[in-house]
Structure 1
Amino acid sequence: MGDTPTHTTVGNHADPSLWLPSQVPVSFRSTNGNAETFDATQESRRRPYPEPPAESLLTAYRKMVLGRRFDEQATSLARQGRLAVHPASLGQEACQVGAALALRATDWLFPTYRDAVALVSRGIDPVEVLTLLRGDAHCGYDPVRHRTAPQCTPLATHAAHAAGLAHGERLKGADTVALALVGDGATSEGDFHEALNLAGVLKAPVVFLVQNNGYAISVPRSEQCAALSLAYKGVGYGVRAEQVDGNDAAAVLAVLTTAVEDARAGGGPWLVEAHTYRMGPHTSADDPSRYRTAAEAGRWRERDPIALLESGLRERGLLSDADAKAAAAEAEAYAADVRARLAEEPELAPHALFDHVFAAPLPHLAGQRASLRARLEDC
């Protein structure tokens, strides 16, 4: 018998350690909500994450301020009955804006129901974003035009779609990357693991961003998974993994930009876990005080991602009082426009329920459409 062959490589990388996430979340700041901080500026770091340029950080700041004000306005509209419900993303702005800014216009974003801030940061009309939550349509924006999939409510079902689209685009010769946003609860779903396995086997140019906000509705992370970090779930599928301080906008943008461009260059898929916190309720129908303490929420409010970024920009002389006031004024005008437009009664099109179900209308659907038309005419 000959010698048993030994394998010294994992996927395309000779060093298997490159597949493991950093032991503590990557951050450009000196403190972290969970643990000791990985110093991304040290020359001895295992992976280089260049700090984003000042202009990118200023853009992120403006979009985070605008996104939060939009999110607050949407929450108010839900309380007024203008929206059926609203899953706020208060405290997760660095993750959502970072995801939007790390992508090119030609890339694809796969959001969940909580990622409205990522959608408006991508330039989608806010009223079109909220159409789903008002109940007017399954998706208010054109996914193809915006290269953004419809918001996904079932946990993790869109993750495999992202992997498949990324692989398909590569087969067509495009350099498209897909980025799927998921929550910590979604990592316990079978769809998530199937998506990672598919992406790893195909070496698809896709990035999975887990916004670990500590709770799957009311279930804490400690009762969901015993892994040291959710990022470690990528290793078993041949997916490069990293974890990042999700409240450090500069670190989020640096890691995601690195992941997206590595995937684009043929490096294969990435799994990035962002440690953040949902400072508000799960939805406008939730009472978070039933499952978490005020002290815990207070500790995370001290690490507000917008406040952290603003203080960092001011320390470097990149943001003035006038700049901050201008960003706040822009956000207020944006919210006022959303408020005014959603105060108008929607133009309902009941027959559109039958559109886009099949490529060619089926006889029984045509019959149902005719029946609905007759009922509406009798009203």
Structure 2
Amino acid sequence: MTVAAESDFVQLLTPEGERTEHPQYGLDLAPQELRGLYRDMVLTRRFDAEATSLQRQGELGLWPSSFGQEAAQIGSGRAVQEGDHVFPSYREHGVAWCRGVDPTNLLGMFRGVNNGGWDPDADNFHLYTLVIGSQALHATGYAMGVAKDGADSAVIAYFGDGASSQGDVMESFNFAAVYDAPVVFFCQNNQWAISMPTEKQTRVPLYQRALGFGFPGVRVDGNDVLACLAVTKSALERARRGEGPTLVEAYTYRMGAHTTSDDPTRYRMSTEVESWRRRDPVQRLATYLTAEGWADRAYLDSVEEESELLGRRVREAVRVMPTPDPNLIFENVYADGHALVDEERAQFAAYQASFADEGEGK
């Protein structure tokens, strides 16, 4: 089954950069807004590339790249309103950008200097979740609370194709459906759950799983920023109207490794990667903008220059991040403290002090 053959595959911008229409998901953006989406994707990609380089240089312990998934993240991220809440996994760098989180704050956890790096309440963007799929339950519970409070807002949860097989995600689908929770489940199907291809994860397209729980699912071209924006906007509006959850499957591709500890050449063919490279989301929008006369070479170059400045700022910020006190690991374990944690803290302090004693004896 090919994606192009599916009548419910939403696409507003072809891989060749040609604008199309969809009967259900219309979108009318001004040239300035389109240029803004292009800028978002270019800067997000440059930040991601810099983070990957920093990990290779030993400045970060690990990095999960979002290369290739910029359209899915920027499109959906720009659909989120100020009062909405976002529950990410660990790869939503573009969504964080849309929410106003400083890119440098995303790197502290991967450098090992903090447990998150930003205040979730500041921009309604919750901390990255490394436990696969658990954020779907967090988002659903939060959305149920939003509904009980009568708030005019929605919740969106991000996860990948691999996480869609987790029990936590299935439970969240059921709770969201039964309680008409105002939540959008945004699955970035990047074709690979580390080394496991999608066809070995499910017998049906992922978006169809929603039907079994009693709410709609839609598959969108995840490399089309316009389609991702239109579909997510519609799903969030539906949630705010009290009509319950929606599952959005963004059909995209992870161009790089799962994380910097992964070697994708061991399990996927280079021909597959090249076929997806021709569907590049950034180039697709650039082609459309230039064809319509809404962006020229000078503008595209200016965005590239801005992205280089961002890369430099990120690089400099990471290298001056202060090393935290090792004893802070014992803080915030329990709200009111715990005797066993106090004992472990004392043992660790004595262990640290033993190195100082050795130094004095030399």
What is the TM-score with the length of structure 2 in the denominator? Answer: 0.91
Question: What amino acid sits opposite 2:66 in the alignment?
Answer: S
Aligned to 2:72: 95
Residue pairs, 1:1-379, within 5 angstroms: 23-30=7-14, 41-42=21-22, 45=23, 47-227=24-204, 229-344=205-320, 346-378=322-354, 379=356
- For the residue of structure 1 that corresponds to 2:26, the secondary structure is coil
State the Cα distance separating 1:126 from its structure 2 match: 1.7
- In structure 2, relative to structure 1, the CA distance for the partners of 1:23 and 1:104 (3 Å cut) is same
1:273-299 CA distances to partner (integer Å, 9 max, x unpaired)?
011011111111222111111111111
- In structure 2, relative to structure 1, the CA distance for the partners of 1:288 and 1:23 (3 Å cut) is same
State the Cα distance separating 1:235 from its structure 2 match: 1.0
1:59-116 CA distances to partner (integer Å, 9 max, x unpaired)?
2111100000000000000100101111111100011112221112221111112222
Question: What amino acid sits opposite 2:245 in the alignment?
Answer: P
State the Cα distance separating 1:217 from its structure 2 match: 0.5
Moved more, 114-123 or 158-167: 114-123
Q: How far apart, CA to CA, are the structure 2 residues paired with 1:359 and 1:145? A: 22
- In structure 2, relative to structure 1, the CA distance for the partners of 1:176 and 1:370 (3 Å cut) is farther
- The count of residues paired between Structure 1 and Structure 2 equals 349
- 5+ residue gaps, structure 1: 1-21
Q: How far apart, CA to CA, are the structure 1 residues paired with 2:245 and 2:259? A: 31
- For the residue of structure 2 that corresponds to 1:207, the secondary structure is strand
Q: How far apart, CA to CA, are the structure 1 residues paired with 2:348 and 2:37? A: 47
1:208-253 CA distances to partner (integer Å, 9 max, x unpaired)?
11111111111111111001x1000111112221110000111111
Q: How far apart, CA to CA, are the structure 2 residues paired with 1:127 and 1:71? A: 11
- For the residue of structure 2 that corresponds to 1:210, the secondary structure is strand
Q: How far apart, CA to CA, are the structure 1 residues paired with 2:12 and 2:321? A: 46
Q: How far apart, CA to CA, are the structure 2 residues paired with 1:332 and 1:198? A: 45
- 5+ residue gaps, structure 2: 1-5, 357-362
Q: How far apart, CA to CA, are the structure 2 residues paired with 1:376 and 1:178? A: 44
1:1-55 CA distances to partner (integer Å, 9 max, x unpaired)?
xxxxxxxxxxxxxxxxxxxxx73420013459xxxx9x9625xx3x243344433
What is the TM-score with the length of structure 1 in the denominator? Answer: 0.87
Moved more, 230-239 or 311-320: 311-320
CA contact (8 A) 1:88 1:280 kept: yes
Question: What amino acid sits opposite 2:127 in the alignment?
Answer: P
Question: What amino acid sits opposite 1:376 in the alignment?
Answer: Q
- In structure 2, relative to structure 1, the CA distance for the partners of 1:297 and 1:27 (3 Å cut) is same
Q: How far apart, CA to CA, are the structure 2 residues paired with 1:60 and 1:345? A: 30
- For the residue of structure 2 that corresponds to 1:242, the secondary structure is strand
Q: How far apart, CA to CA, are the structure 2 residues paired with 1:185 and 1:58? A: 33
Aligned to 1:6: none
1:153-192 CA distances to partner (integer Å, 9 max, x unpaired)?
1211110100111111222232221111110111111111
CA contact (8 A) 1:188 1:224 kept: yes
- In structure 2, relative to structure 1, the CA distance for the partners of 1:29 and 1:161 (3 Å cut) is same
1:287-345 CA distances to partner (integer Å, 9 max, x unpaired)?
21111111111111011100001111222222222221221111111110010111225
% identity of equivalent residues: 39
- For the residue of structure 2 that corresponds to 1:346, the secondary structure is coil
Question: What amino acid sits opposite 1:242 in the alignment?
Answer: V
State the Cα distance separating 1:349 from its structure 2 match: 2.5
State the Cα distance separating 1:375 from its structure 2 match: 3.6
Q: How far apart, CA to CA, are the structure 1 residues paired with 2:118 and 2:258? A: 24
Question: What amino acid sits opposite 1:308 in the alignment?
Answer: R
Q: How far apart, CA to CA, are the structure 1 residues paired with 2:219 and 2:144? A: 24
Question: What amino acid sits opposite 1:173 in the alignment?
Answer: G
Question: What amino acid sits opposite 1:83 in the alignment?
Answer: L
Q: How far apart, CA to CA, are the structure 2 residues paired with 1:309 and 1:97? A: 12
- For the residue of structure 1 that corresponds to 2:187, the secondary structure is strand
Q: How far apart, CA to CA, are the structure 1 residues paired with 2:206 and 2:49? A: 29
Moved more, 217-226 or 282-291: 282-291
- In structure 2, relative to structure 1, the CA distance for the partners of 1:296 and 1:49 (3 Å cut) is same
CA contact (8 A) 1:120 1:129 kept: no
Moved more, 239-248 or 342-351: 342-351
